[in-house]
Chain A
């Protein structure tokens, strides 16, 4: 029974991975791409790792999967934030349809 629940989790994770990569190809801007792909792919990969834990059970590989999941949840937002900050400081433009840019105001306040 837990095998079937694990395979369902793996299917959900595959769906989110494909959607995230589609967003990486389709969206118009670095920041939009970062938004779509990082959230979707992190959620999808965490779901796949949890499904692996459910299928494999309480073995060494299962606990390593749980550890890897916690590590991904901790580190992926940090990496995404670093990329967004670096891109904005390097002068990458926002796309034409963007409405608001708060970080530019903050940078003016600093300087």
Chain B
């Protein structure tokens, strides 16, 4: 009985620690972001610089799953999510740098991510690519 209670308390403490560290990171990004990647002089530079830092945080979370994932399917899911998130990052960069060719990169990246996900899932299923 004591062991079960102890395990539950350790789980609760880890949950609390993780939530606290994530909230601290988000607050640090929102209150005082680092001066890189904020493009001064262009419209909405403050908001979009913070948005880019939040994107980097989300990408680091999915990179953790790529590195740690116990099976191959976890890694494939994380790679798919990373590709979709890079599309959003390119859309934010379109506004924040006023260069319209970032949108072309976004479309090409979405196509490439979709095709690579299909190929990897067929490989996972154990079939060859031309079936």
Contacts and interface: CB of A to CB of B under 8 A. Distances in A.
Interface SS of chain B: helix
Interface string A60-86: 110011011001100110111011011
B91 A52 contact: yes
Contacts of A65: 91, 94, 103, 106
Contacts of A37: 62, 77-78, 81
A88 B47 CA distance: 42
A78 B107 CA distance: 17
A52 B84 contact: no
Chain B contact-residue range equals 35 or more
Interface residues of A, number: 48
B119 to A, nearest CB: 10
Interface of A: 3, 7, 10, 13-14, 17-18, 20-22, 24-25, 30, 33-34, 37-38, 41-42, 44-45, 48-49, 52, 55-56, 59-61, 64-65, 67-68, 71-72, 75-76, 78-80, 82-83, 85-87, 89-90, 92
